[in-house]
Amino acid sequence: MSVAEYFPPIPEAPAAQCCKCLRATSAPVAVRYVETGSGPGIPLYACPHCAPSVPAGPHWDDVIRNP
């Protein structure tokens, strides 16, 4: 066996954008779930620092924009 087989690459942590501070976080916390007109709903994530201060939702200002 080679060294690479003993130490496989570690996958990257999942990243998401915080819905409050808009920074990328590698430890996202799902804080809201926004229903869509068709298809599955979309979860909104917050960083661990902002998660306690995000109120329950969805709210009227939750807008989902397609990139």
* Domain range summary for the chain, segments of one domain joined by +: 11-53
pLDDT at res. 28: 92
pLDDT tens over the chain, length 67 residues: 678 788 877 777 678 999 899 999 989 999 888 877 788 888 889 999 999 998 876 666 666 665 5
DSSP string over 7-39: SPPPPPPP-EEBTTT--EESS-EEEEEE--SSS
The rounded distance, in Å, linking the Cα atoms of 39 and 47 is 26
The rounded distance, in Å, linking the Cα atoms of 63 and 52 is 21
What pTM was estimated for this model as a whole? 0.64
Strand partners, 34: 42
